[in-house]
Structure 1
């Protein structure tokens, strides 16, 4: 079911003229950024080592025609890890698909080398990256949202001073790669391109044999945590010791062969939930006899998510054995000063904290993947997360069927396009399935580049059978006979709340309102542009906005006893010309009274 308002809006969006940003819009954290040492926190809280070196800060840069290697990289300084188009990068220029962005930095290696290996980590670089260390090519990576690493030990020179060069090319919406809402010509719901390094760059010293990852799954039926690990190198004859701690007190320690997964029975398990986000501290040691070969610290949560029927026969999302209505905002994760990158770690956590204070229990992270520290904050604060795969290769056709609008359905994706999508989705899931806050995977949104839905759902299920799958948020399904693949039947409707009609689609599971609302209120002095801003339904006063939202909540609450399992309101903040956020884009103005929101939301759960 789709309203006429959506059709009118969508055609309107694509007729809006392109724009350039008007007045510079800053957040409260913009001027707190130290360009010599931005985002200094350890970037991978799920696998912590002490011996590491942050390479964020000033790098030399050059923007060069694609395919042409610059003689020198000396057009100025760029602050890593902020994309070239962002204010905080110090460049604030569009690179474009016809050009490449080059980086260079010399640095003194502060890590102890010895017999250890030195790994060079990139949190995320958009999109194609080629790396040289001391003028020797190390390797190449494609993917704008997944982290990647190189063992640079063979490329390091004697002494401490080393040199890194990086070439980045991003085709934006000219290419078939996942790119979310980035376009060369930003307008409406499409935003400024993001080119280059946008997450932390860092070095890490590891032994010849080391822990690459540690992953935990809850075995709800047996009150247990199951630990699995990936080890690089020869670990034959080695043992793995896992120590579990509760508020600083050791409650379990197990020693077994390093190749074995481990089931730890909890005698009095403490669950993780939005109301009580309890996390166990974990230490994992790789041992050769009594010698510690490698050691990391991490954390784990005892948390179960599944689909089950309630007393009335409706499928619900059960968290830790109890049905829970999930309600939260659509969170795009954009910043006026850093674009894809929050200016500070405090800023990164801010949206989650405020979302919780407003009485929501869930966030849908929309066609973007955040740095690992964002999910760590969600774990610590107690926020459920639905994680989208960034969309791409959308095509430009419209296909309208009864009750369904398909925007950008691309039935002609090339083999290369499909390979790129599957590769990056696999990397994203393997990297982020650690975080207990994530409870739903969303491979597609509104058929934006949707293809081979059943195959992608099966891939998602294989990579992680412990979470729910929303195959295509927005009701844009590829039908397999009369069945909808995945676990969730998801409908988008603006502005009023509605719910899916199971009879329209045949067999169904969870019924979800994946997007609604979008009530807009531009606040003078806090917009990306001085004019031509919009929302799905716009208002001029806070009082009128709040009254309309209250009506939405009254109507939403009526749908829950009819089987609605979750709902997502658009959106957390304004983004560029969209002014339909709960907060302004600069996060300086709350458009609603927070106590009002918390009180009215409490009636939904």
Structure 2
């Protein structure tokens, strides 16, 4: 077993490097601790498909020959009309060795070279088929390869796949020979130079906004598997929580036969049933234990395909008994329920990037580290953001009890056209992703689009996936362009005091209200940043590794870069307390924090990009986050729609502002306005919060003391709601007896509207 040895950390190169026969990790500005454990003879030795496992298989990861050849592709709008860019003559010369399954762009590949749109990447290796496989069909599996991949066995092209984030396979049996077999793979990836699903990949010279390094070529495990002529091709597992049963449906190769399904737990057989392999087999699950984040019980599944009582194929799988749905909760809000219980969901955005592996984690321990860290700090959810992970990542989420929001991978954010061919290909990849990940109990939500990035035919795709998979929550669009479909209404808000939608106006309150991205507050840890004084960013906006002190918790500071861990911890605690109030006061049912780790120029992670530093101590984070699952009971001090006075002492009834289609206005007035109200409290409460609803920014004073300057950030013409907790030092503004709250509206919005309430808790 050979492990990677580091001499030092160098900077990443955008052009070819290390083109030689001996493997060395390519230069990188940062390295995770897990890179040192990568076995260069057999990286990722674990079984790659835990949801459908057989005993026999062969891992093809390791050092392959590679070379890069030029092609005449020119950037296009929409999808290329060429049927293939990876059909061609096999190379006779090789540039060096590449460590599969790391993409050529990744330092761990040993190459560290950007694959361009006018290039193809060729791979070569040989393999021998064991004699015990000779009477079986042999499948060649690619867990993921980005984007167009053609496969050649012994000089003959045997298949092509398009799509960078889903697994695919070929039956190579007719093309094999005894002894040594030659495998060639050719990959082309246009990235943003055509309309293809790329997520956040972009070429360095075109980088805009929050996008990162591209990934070209094979980036997940490649492996061989022998199967019988009559065998199980795939499995669909449907836990029926209400009926206390699990339904198993298989697709077979060859004749269907009989399917025996056994359910096991802790080594004991607990249930079984048999039926025709072409039909659904229902297995009763009497007195089952439900799968939840706090108790992620997994049942083992053994499937036996029989032909005339002889077992011709056997596979192992697993499942969890759980259901997830949106329905009215006791507090009157539409909420996401798991197993009939409302469950607030909190966790980070997971970009799924690594400084040394890019889209590929350095190994199994790296996967487990990220997910266990989230459990340790009190998260119960993670949003996989416009990418997919290796299948073993989802297995560990299942095992640990982390809820997963899975995004479909978007096409380019800027500069592309979604033509009919691109839309059709994207739809094909969307369905392939859902089919592949369907059986994982941890996945509770499909996110169709993100922030309008290449968004198209939203209602069609949302209704399709809602019908195709009725076991999960559907999110039509996380942030920005919302449509009246799906199960949740999702906003993004990176203000320090994020807004929730005041209601689900488009669907008359049928959907749960969630915040799909928020926070993004920064802290640079010296020695643990991608950019530094020695490695300056090309764009000024990426210099957020420089801290700033011009912040105030009384005014909106947005995605601030704090100067110390102590101030970051204070800010984080205040932010989480705000979300607790937003849950109780507006029905905010989930919140996605940006993000689990720093990524390249972004410094808003719980962890640094190299995974070496938790910016807030884990136990402290857990104590802060745990409060989210016990939201406060808010008691009204000042109700919404109550009587106030204007600056001229005129009595008015809130809401005040312009007439609008969402919230009836009790007092029509031209803005800006100044209003005030007296309220009485018998004693100073432990906690208090001010709620502001509408479109309009304002300044709030309590007994003449400046309390908060707000930024409503109401987008797309729908009113929002914000809650502003009193922090410990601000409770001194209050007094037993009569108090005064005054509001001055500021700025302009699409519509003028404001309503205010005060609660203690």
TM-score (norm 1): 0.91
How many pairs align?
566
Answering whether residue 72 of structure 2 is matched by residue 57 of structure 1, we say no
Gaps of 5+ in 2: 1-12, 16-25, 73-87, 537-541, 546-558, 630-761
Determine the structure 1 residue equivalent to 2:337. 318
* 107-116 or 224-233, larger mean C-alpha shift: 107-116
**C-alpha displacement at 1:503, in angstroms?**
6.4
Moved over 3 A (4+): 18-23, 67-71, 393-396, 503-506
Q: 1:197 aligns with which of 218, 221, 234?
A: 218
| 1:47-80 Cα distance to aligned partner (Å, 9 max, x none) | 0001100000011000110267464241000000
8 Å contact 1:224–1:263 — kept in the other structure? yes
Residue of structure 2 equivalent to 1:288 = 307
Q: Alignment partner of 1:316: what SS?
A: strand
RMSD: 1.8
Q: Secondary structure at the match of 2:622?
A: helix
Aligned to 1:209: 230
Q: Write the mapping of 1:362-511 to structure 2, written as runs, cut at 5 A.
A: 362-396=381-415, 413-477=418-482, 479=483, 484-496=484-496, 497-502=498-503, 505=506, 507-508=508-509, 509-511=511-513
How far apart are the structure 2 equivalents of 1:289 and 1:106? Answer: 38
1:595 and 2:619 matched: yes
Q: 2:242 is paired with a residue of what secondary structure? A: helix
Question: 318-327 vs 532-541, which deviates more?
Answer: 532-541
Q: 2:93, 2:194 → 1: CA distance?
A: 26
CA distance in 1, matches of 2:260, 2:283: 12
User: Under a length normalisation based on structure 2, what TM-score does the superposition of the two structures give?
Assistant: 0.73
Take 2:36 and 2:242, find their aligned partners in 1: how far apart are those partners?
A: 50
For the 8 Å contact 2:249–2:278, the answer to whether it is kept is: no
The CA deviation string for residues 146-193 of structure 1, in whole angstroms up to 9 with x for no partner, is: 1000000000012x2111101100001111110000001245411111
Gap change, CA 1:187 and 1:23, over 3 Å in 2: farther
Deviation at 1:476, TM superposition (A): 1.5
Aligned counterpart, 1:341 = 360
CA drift of 1:460 comes to 1.1
Paired residues of 1:393 and 1:448 also in contact (CA < 8 A): yes
Q: Give me the whole-angstrom Cα distance separating, in 2, the residues matched to 1:524 and 1:206.
A: 53
Counterpart in 2 of 1:4? Answer: none
2: CA distance, partners of 1:299 / 1:200: 21
Q: What is the DSSP-based 3-state SS (H/G/I as helix, E as strand, rest coil) of the residue aligned with 1:597?
A: helix
Mapped contact 2:272–2:283 kept (Cα < 8 A): no
1:100 aligns with 2:120: yes
* Cα distance in 1 between the residues matched to 2:172 and 2:152: 9
Q: For 1:316 and 1:173, locate their aligned partners in 2 and report how far apart those are by CA, in whole Å.
A: 38
Single out whichever of 214-223 and 199-208 deviates more from structure 2.
Answer: 214-223
Cα pair 1:574 1:585 within 8 Å, conserved: yes
The answer as to 2:72 corresponding to 1:72 is no
Which structure has the larger Rg over C-alpha atoms?
2
Quick one: structure 1 residues 98 and 49, their matched pair in 2 at CA, closer, same or farther if it must change by over 3 Å? Answer: same
Partner SS for 2:628: coil
Instruction: Show the 5 A alignment for 1:87-166.
Output: 87-110=107-130, 112-158=132-178, 160-166=179-185
CA deviation profile, 1:79-117 (whole Å, cap 9, x unmatched): 000000100000101111011100011122236223210
SS in 2 for 1:604: helix
2:581 pairs with 1:576: no
Alpha-carbon contact 2:260-2:273 (below 8 Å) kept: yes
Residue matched to 1:552 = 575
After superposition, the Cα gap between the structure-2 partners of 1:179 and 1:282, relative to the gap in structure 1 and judged at 3 Å, is same
